[in-house]
Amino acid sequence: MKILERNYDKIFFSFLLLIASTLIFRKFSTICILIFVAFNLLTFNRLKYDRKKLIWWVIVAIPFLLDVLFLWNNDSLGAGLKSAEKRLSFIIFPTFLLGYYKAINFKWFLKLYGYIMVVIVFMAYGAYAYNYPEHVIKYYHGKHLWEMGYHFANFVGIHAPAFNLHMSFVSISCLYLLFAAGKRLQSKLISGLFLLLSLVIVMYINTRVAVVITLLGYGVVCFFELFKNKNIYKAVKISALLFSSVILIMVVFVKVFPYSVEKYTKGSFSDMEYVGNLDAVEHPEIRFFNKLVTRVSIWKSALELAEDNWIIGYGASDARNELVNYYKETDQQFLAKYEFPTHNQYIDFLLKFGVLGFIGVICFMFGMGYLGWQMKHPVVISFCLLFFISNLTDDFLIRYDGITFSALWFAIFANQYFYNTKITGYVEKD
């Protein structure tokens, strides 16, 4: 215990960094989280709370609290508890990070996190290229590019949109670190290199929403830098250089992988006349599987189902079964065959918990935005935009990689907020 107490800050920071950097590896990061919990339980006397912190604890914990509040609304208590257990991260991280007695060194943490993530992913890609050289060659020659990135993500053990959600945040963080690198040329070059490497990863995994959000996040970081920096000329010069580099990478990428042009135009928005009638086409899985028309058809069905029980919803464990049954009742064979979830977190919580679930997830999302705006921090605001927009076309609060990712970073942002003395009046005490 004396060793734990003496090295408390170093151990706390190291475990937090290890968890953040390995979230894409579910089993390993779960073990790290369990050890992190055990460590904090052994040093529980170090945690400090007050009323303001408890309010933010509740906001971060909203997804888990909704599971508990509507536990009675599941056909099976065991299934309801299992759903709640999946979202335990929403009480683990705010409990220990809001209770932590001082601010985490956010800039240093972000720097180590971003650089470690880029190194890990490139090492993983090296292993992937060694094991599947035929796929790398195939992509280079422009064959089967529709699965580009997805096969690599499956090799890592994570769903591609979730993988790129993580890498999008890493890339935005690397841009922030480039602006924050100071006057040392070496620091700027290292930050710039990791920024470009992270963008290459985002483009390779190539999920549409993540690519768009990455560019939007770049814009947010550049906007804040332009208005806070006294040296406007310097900020404009770096922004122009960044913009040129991004355009160059994207042009080269499109030249190597021309399928990307179709993917972001015709591949995304075509066939919208088949919304709600996907089975009118023979073999709809070939034509529609990854298109917007499929998601819109799912949303249409989910909203129609939600209308019948919008007050309390269908329960966390039963809502998806109810949706699949609705596909069958309305003779939507393609959707029923693949048992598609809602692919929209806001509709998902409306279906599970009724109107309170919808309000709850909105409060959760905008809670992050409020912290970012109060702190005037572009990374926090970018994370809010990233998670808010990505959940319009997916449901990351039902997946481990989305649950732990959002719970961890929301709690870190809340920790920063409470020790920003200009806003809260909190003073860091040893």
pLDDT band for position 183 (cuts 50, 70, 90): confident
- Mean local confidence (pLDDT), 396-421: 93
- Cβ atoms of 39 and 15 within 8 Å: the answer is yes
CA torsion sign, 22 to 349 to 359 to 302? positive
Question: 291: which DSSP letter?
Answer: S
What pLDDT is stored for residue 34 in this prediction? 95
Tokens (6 digits) for 381? 């605001």
What pLDDT is stored for residue 277 in this prediction? 84
Question: 343: which DSSP letter?
Answer: S
* Total Cβ atoms within 10 A of residue 216: 15
Q: 143-147, 150-154, 307-311, 321-325: which range is least confident on average? A: 143-147
- Cβ atoms of 12 and 103 within 8 Å: the answer is no
Q: Give the whole-angstrom CA distance, residue 299 versus residue 322.
A: 14
Q: 25-34, 108-117, 222-231: which range is least confident on average? A: 222-231
Short-list 30, 38, 29, 36, CA closest to 13: 36
Q: Give the whole-angstrom CA distance, residue 385 versus residue 333.
A: 35
pLDDT tens by residue, 226-285:
777 656 666 676 667 767 777 777 666 666 666 666 555 555 666 778 888 888 888 888
- Cβ atoms of 36 and 16 within 8 Å: the answer is yes
- Cβ atoms of 415 and 100 within 8 Å: the answer is yes
pLDDT band for position 143 (cuts 50, 70, 90): low
Tokens (6 digits) for 213? 């959000």
Buried/exposed 360-396: b ≥16 CB within 10 Å, e otherwise: bbeebbebbbbbbeebebbbbbbbbbbbbbbbebbbb
Question: 289: which DSSP letter?
Answer: T
- Percent of the chain scored above 90 by pLDDT? 58
pLDDT band for position 149 (cuts 50, 70, 90): confident
What pLDDT is stored for residue 233 in this prediction? 67
**Long-range contact pairs involving 197-202 (C-beta distance under 8 Å, separation at least 24):** 197/118, 197/122, 198/114, 198/117, 198/118, 198/167, 198/170, 198/171, 198/174, 199/171, 199/246, 199/249, 200/249, 201/118, 201/121, 201/122, 201/125, 201/167, 201/170, 201/171, 202/164, 202/167, 202/168, 202/171
Question: Does the predicted TM-score (pTM) go above 0.85?
Answer: yes
Q: Give the whole-angstrom CA distance, residue 411 versus residue 98.
A: 7
**In 274-399, where does DSSP find H-type helix?**
284-288, 292-307, 319-329, 333-338, 345-375, 378-390
Q: Give the whole-angstrom CA distance, residue 59 versus residue 53.
A: 10
pLDDT band for position 289 (cuts 50, 70, 90): confident
pLDDT tens by residue, 387-396:
999 999 999 9
Q: pLDDT averaged over the chain? A: 87
CB-based burial label for 355 (10 Å; 0-12, 13-18, 19+): middle
What pLDDT is stored for residue 430 in this prediction? 41
Phi-psi domain of 100 (left: phi exceeds 0; alpha: psi -120 through 50; beta: other): beta
Q: Give the whole-angstrom CA distance, residue 341 versus residue 349.
A: 12
What pLDDT is stored for residue 296 in this prediction? 92
216-to-172, 232, 251 alpha-carbon distances in Å: 9, 21, 18
Residue type, position 423, single letter: I
Residue type, position 389, single letter: I
What pLDDT is stored for residue 77 in this prediction? 87
Tokens (6 digits) for 55? 């309010």
Q: 168-172, 180-184, 232-236, 334-338: which range is least confident on average? A: 232-236
pLDDT higher than 70, residue 110: yes
pLDDT higher than 80, residue 114: yes
pLDDT higher than 80, residue 142: no
Buried/exposed 96-110: b ≥16 CB within 10 Å, e otherwise: bbbbbeebbebeebb
pLDDT band for position 47 (cuts 50, 70, 90): confident
- Which DSSP helix (H) or strand (E) runs through 414? helix 400-418
Name the more confident of 306 and 142.
Answer: 306
